[in-house]
Amino acid sequence: MKKLAILFICTGNICRSPTAHVLLMHKARAVGFHVEVDSAAVSDEERGNPPDPRSVAEAKRRGIEMHAHSARQVRKADFERFDLIIGMTAQHCAALRRLAPAGTAHKVHLFTEFAEGVEGDVPDPWYGGQQAFVEVFDLIDLGVDGLLTRLAALATSAPAHPATR
Phi, psi of 9 (to 5 degrees): -125, 135
From residue 21, how far is each of 4, 86, 160 by CA, in Å?
Answer: 14, 11, 24
**Quick one: pLDDT at residue 155?**
75
16 is catalytic: yes
> pTM score, two decimals?
0.93
Catalytic residue among 47, 72, 97, 124: 124
**Residuewise pLDDT in 10s, the chain (165 residues):** 568 999 999 999 999 999 999 999 999 999 999 999 999 999 999 999 999 999 999 999 999 999 789 999 999 999 999 999 999 999 999 999 999 999 999 999 999 999 999 999 999 999 999 999 999 999 999 999 999 999 988 777 745 555 544
**Quick one: pLDDT at residue 154?**
78
Catalytic residue among 15, 16, 83, 121: 16
* Spatial distance between the Cα atoms of 159 and 150, rounded to a whole number of angstroms: 14
DSSP 83: S
121 is catalytic: no
**Quick one: pLDDT at residue 152?**
87
Closest among 35, 58, 66 to 128, alpha carbons compared: 58
User: Residue 72, exposed/middle/buried by CB under 10 A (0-12, 13-18, 19+)?
Assistant: middle
124 is catalytic: yes
* Spatial distance between the Cα atoms of 58 and 130, rounded to a whole number of angstroms: 8
The domain locations on the chain are: 4-164
**Quick one: pLDDT at residue 143?**
99
**Quick one: pLDDT at residue 153?**
84
**Quick one: pLDDT at residue 74?**
99
- CATH code of 4-164, in short, is 3.40.50.2300
Pair 122, 142: CB distance under 8 Å: no
- Give the distance between the most distant pair of CA atoms in the chain: 45
